[in-house]
Structure 1
Amino acid sequence: MSPSQGLKETRHPYTFVSQEGFKELLMVPSAADKALPILPKVAAALKGALVHADGGVFERGLNGLVQLSAVVGPALNTHLKNLLTSLSKRLMDRKYKDGVTSALQKLEQYGGKESLGIIKSKIPTYCSIYS
């Protein structure tokens, strides 16, 4: 792989650089304003990381998803259905269950009331943080 793979990168130091770079880009002033116009592309890139066979790539994608959700909030809801399929599959794996559950709770928290319906439509066993 080349260093242009972003969160899907599997070689050091590119794995570190992609993860830290993603996090830092979301921390700049007015990050939400800058992320919203490119949200479909960012969501597609995150989906690529979330469906990757490498567990480390999946975990970086999951962390990135939560970080993005914290910045753009409910704007991510339109992309959630596409992202939740891979989370649903990893939820069955004991190794990832706690991390995925925590991520789902944060997606619900940052996405507002609408996000719960979207999450439940893809993961019926999910229990709301508000119930």
Structure 2
Amino acid sequence: MLPNQMKSQTHRGIPARPKTSVTESNKTANHSKSNVGRVHSAPVCEARSMLRGDNDKPPIQTSTVAKFNKPSARLNPKTIDPFNTSTKNQSVFSTVYINGGIPCCLVHGSVKHKLSWSTPPESVPFDPVLVTLAEGLRETVHPYRFVAKQGFKELLDVPEADQKCIAVLPKLIQPLRAALTHRDDNVFENGLEALSQISATTKDALNIHLKSFLLALAKRRMEKKYRDKVTEVLEDLEQNGGTETLVIIKSKIPTYSSINR
């Protein structure tokens, strides 16, 4: 703008624009550029840190979920974990068996399992082996459940098992009662079978201990699925124990009918 034009605008009431040097314009432009860099640098750093945080998160573990979704996990029986060193829930039987206190071990077969005895069963002392096997009737995991049930049965089949069993009979009552009052159906069935075996072995020597089992048997006999099984065991007790047994059974289970009716 020419000096004469500026003077004319001033006289008309229009203020003149201040002069801006080239140096000041360059400073303003440079300042704006630096501000732009500072404004955008913080969000970029935050975004990078968020990405790094996502990468640091541990991956989702799906192996546990997938393990229980396999059909084999539902079909196979409960099995002891060989890598689990916890002893929190182990019974007396499992501890003794792990330490080699039971002179037998499980032999896996293609069709069924069996026991291999390191000592002939007829030479095995019933105290404490038979008592420990009775404790194992409450086991719910493999192989303890099978070893306890099968070992108990095989010891009662040896010659002179009646006298050996009568000698330790008071020590067998509590483990048998615990099995018969257990909430697990398999454990209860193990207790039923063991009670029938002891009755066949000891005969009327079991009569003085019968009341320890009758309340548990009466309770389960009220269930439809166990009515026949419990009745069969009661009949075995009566047949093996004689007329005195019937009186004892009737005192706790009045609805029981004698096999000699």
Q: TM-score when scaled to structure 1?
A: 0.97
2:147 to 6, 9, 17: 17
- Does residue 222 of structure 2 align to residue 72 of structure 1? no
* Larger RCO (CA within 8 A; separation ≥ 6): 1
Q: Using the alignment, how far apart are the partners of 1:78 and 1:18 within structure 2?
A: 25
- Does residue 246 of structure 2 align to residue 116 of structure 1? yes
Q: CA deviation at 1:121?
A: 0.5
Q: CA deviation at 1:41?
A: 1.1
1:26 to 153, 156, 159: 156
Q: Using the alignment, how far apart are the partners of 2:235 and 2:171 within structure 1?
A: 23
What is residue 87 of structure 1 aligned with on the other side?
217
Q: Using the alignment, how far apart are the partners of 1:26 and 1:103 within structure 2?
A: 17
Q: Using the alignment, how far apart are the partners of 1:16 and 1:97 within structure 2?
A: 25
What is residue 44 of structure 1 aligned with on the other side?
174
Q: Give the structure with the higher percent helix.
A: 1
Q: What SS is found at the alignment partner of 2:259? A: coil
Q: Using the alignment, how far apart are the partners of 1:70 and 1:108 within structure 2?
A: 10
Q: Using the alignment, how far apart are the partners of 2:238 and 2:147 within structure 1?
A: 28
Q: CA deviation at 1:15?
A: 1.0
Which amino acid in 2 is paired with 1:91?
A: R
Q: CA deviation at 1:45?
A: 1.0
Identity %: 54
Q: CA deviation at 1:33?
A: 0.8
Q: List runs of 5+ in structure 1 lacking aligned partners.
A: none
Which amino acid in 1 is paired with 2:154?
A: E
- Does residue 218 of structure 2 align to residue 102 of structure 1? no
Q: List runs of 5+ in structure 2 lacking aligned partners.
A: 1-88, 96-134
Runs (4+) of structure 1 exceeding 6 A deviation are: none
Which amino acid in 2 is paired with 1:28?
A: V
Which amino acid in 2 is paired with 1:31?
A: A
